[in-house]
Chains A and B, each alone.
Chain A
């Protein structure tokens, strides 16, 4: 079987600090893959290893193989193409200092789309998928940075979708978003599953339970357990996992 993402003995360290230790994981295509775990478990580093943005952290050192669609990401020569195939949403909302329209059109423009109609279609579609369209459709020329925190976060999601990624990485996307909108976005994520693989890092274990097909539990830079979500939440093999999902972790 050809996995969308596969980690083979991947370790990442920042100087002396180990962020990921011997991670082996397979993420099938068109699945929502949940990642849970306490702070400092290596969840964000895991995402950065996929699209090679770890390279911007000069102290980061990676060993092992990260495979994207069967190809070792280190051997992909066009790293920008790889990053276009991966949409990333970080916990803190970042509206770029340009209009809402340009925020979403940014990545398509960089990849060479200049047709006005085509760009507009992308912008509308992505803003709708991110549940932001109704709130901003009359003011697309407003600065993205002037939106509220929750709106900026949805703008970030729209941007991540704008380059039609094969993998969407959501790193605690719902921190700044109200519960009602969060539920709507969760519905969209389930729909999007047919088009892409979604990696959902979340602090809300119930969110992982609701959405994820498989869930992985990370703790102290290590992958403790991975399996079908129902199993992880009801009868995990590892006591740590059980403690974490039942809220007895400490």
Chain B
């Protein structure tokens, strides 16, 4: 009766220290995460602030005029659009089919491991090297000359490894037991892939492809030697303004345009440079947002 009952939940020294470390880790990881946001916000705010005087619908829809000191960025904008479009038309089927082969058909042997190693290494190749490769392979060896097609092929090669890798990962996320169940019912591998595996991994695959849009639109080096040009006379309105470049034409592109007006040309208003950069960043953010929204939508329909 006289002695106090001991508290069964009393803290030991070890638990006290554990709690302290727990709090420290929580706070420091939170801080680091917040630090990430600072550069992103800083870049966007700075760009938009500097670009504000130039930003308008006309800036988007007009062609550059008077040695790029007036007008807008329609020519480069539409050029980037077609560059991305053509490169994806080339890279997406090849990358997705290669991913399907590697994940669904390939046996685990030295050849498969070699191919996987090649894909990983291709992803690590600097973009300027891709540019030089494109110059040698497409422009000279295949005789395409510098044109939209050669640049698109080069960009396609650059985006392939990520498309292949994301396809493989998306396919691998479909449980093996689904495949086994189908095989046991006498379905062929392809029937299983078509009816079960692809419908349930398409969101992951498309996310990977969409993320490569941003990359294809942003890189300058691969198109530097393979088809981009400083300035070309294109129509200001009508059908020809919508499709100003053929596959065998050289073309303007946003990334290259920005590089030129920032370093090579005099008397370009500062707001034009920042305006071009802001439009590029805006495009990248827009595309990424679409991909994230798409992923959320498809994930909400996840079937298991």
List the interface of chain A (C-beta within 8 A of B).
51, 53, 56, 58, 80-84, 86-88, 90, 92, 94-98, 106-107, 110-111, 143, 145, 156, 159-160, 162-163
Contact mask for chain B residues 166-199; partner A; CB cutoff 8 A; 1 contact, 0 none: 0000000000011011111111100100011001
Is B186 within 8 A of A94, CB to CB? no
Residue of B nearest to A103 (CB): B181
Residues from chain B with Cβ under 8 Å of A159 in the complex: 181, 185
Select one of A86, A145, A160 contacting B303, CB under 8 A: A145
Min C-beta distance of B179 to chain A, whole Å:
8
Residue of A nearest to B179 (CB): A56
Residues from chain A with Cβ under 8 Å of B177 in the complex: 90, 92, 94
Min C-beta distance of A110 to chain B, whole Å:
5
The answer, yes or no, to whether B34 is at the interface (CB within 8 Å) is no
Is B303 within 8 A of A143, CB to CB? yes
Select one of A58, A83, A98 contacting B185, CB under 8 A: A83
Contact mask for chain B residues 202-216; partner A; CB cutoff 8 A; 1 contact, 0 none: 000000000000000
Is A94 within 8 A of B178, CB to CB? yes
Given contacts A97-B303, A143-B303, contact A110 B181 (CB under 8 A): no
A-B pair count, CB < 8 Å, reads 68
Is A83 within 8 A of B183, CB to CB? yes
Given contacts A97-B304, A107-B187, contact A156 B181 (CB under 8 A): yes
Is A163 within 8 A of B186, CB to CB? yes
Task: Give the residue among B108, B196, B304 with the most A Cβ atoms within 10 A.
Answer: B304
Min C-beta distance of A196 to chain B, whole Å:
15
Min C-beta distance of A153 to chain B, whole Å:
12
The answer, yes or no, to whether B276 is at the interface (CB within 8 Å) is no
Residues from chain B with Cβ under 8 Å of A98 in the complex: 196, 303
CA distance A81 to B304 in the complex (A): 29
CA distance A211 to B115 in the complex (A): 52
> Which residues between 139 and 155 of chain B lie within 8 Å of chain A, taking CB atoms?
none
Min C-beta distance of A98 to chain B, whole Å:
8
CB-defined A-B contacts under 8 Å, sample of 10: A53-B180, A90-B177, A94-B180, A96-B196, A97-B178, A97-B200, A97-B304, A143-B303, A160-B185, A163-B186
Is A56 within 8 A of B183, CB to CB? yes
CA distance A90 to B180 in the complex (A): 10
Residues from chain B with Cβ under 8 Å of A83 in the complex: 183-186
Residue of A nearest to B304 (CB): A145
Is B184 within 8 A of A51, CB to CB? yes
Given A95-B304, A106-B185, A110-B186, 18 further pairs, Cβ under 8 A: A51-B184, A53-B180, A56-B180, A58-B108, A80-B186, A83-B185, A87-B184, A90-B177, A90-B180, A92-B177, A94-B177, A94-B178, A97-B196, A145-B304, A159-B181, A159-B185, A160-B185, A162-B185
Residue of A nearest to B174 (CB): A97
